[in-house]
Structure 1
Amino acid sequence: MLGMYMAVQDWVQRRLAVSRDRQSGASAVEYGLLIGLIAIAVIAVLVVLGPKLAGMFTEVETNLPTSGS
């Protein structure tokens, strides 16, 4: 009877270990997808706002006083 209990306990522990491995792999895929989507969003924002930011910095540069050495 004890031998059967130990066999069932060992089987359950192995199944739980396999389940944990599958979950960690799935979460790694999910994190990869999130990072990819964030990267796409950042690139899109830079493409849209890039020219506006460049114009703003150019305007600031032209309005800065020059050093009179």
Structure 2
Amino acid sequence: MENFSGKPVTRIPIMAKQVLDLYELYRLVVQHGGLVEIINKKLWREITRGLNLPSSITSAAFTLRTQ
């Protein structure tokens, strides 16, 4: 598995004290038109909602991009 920048994932991504489902993240990003589309249209809230992450995480978009 690789992250968005093409680098291999070397650690288990954790978000809101739970393991981040990378396949579901990938599926949601593709479903919403791809990474560039999500960034340009600021759709990160839709992605975090689709991953069932708490809305109280205000840095979710940044955390998802850097995982």
TM-score range normalised by the length of the shorter chain: under 0.3
TM-score with structure 1 length normalisation?
A: 0.21
Which gives a bigger RCO, structure 1 or 2 (Cα 8 Å, sep 6+)? 2
Q: Relative to total residues, which structure has the larger helix share, 1 or 2?
A: 1
Instruction: Judging by fraction of residues, say which structure has more strand.
Output: 2
User: Which has the higher Rg, Structure 1 or Structure 2?
Assistant: 1
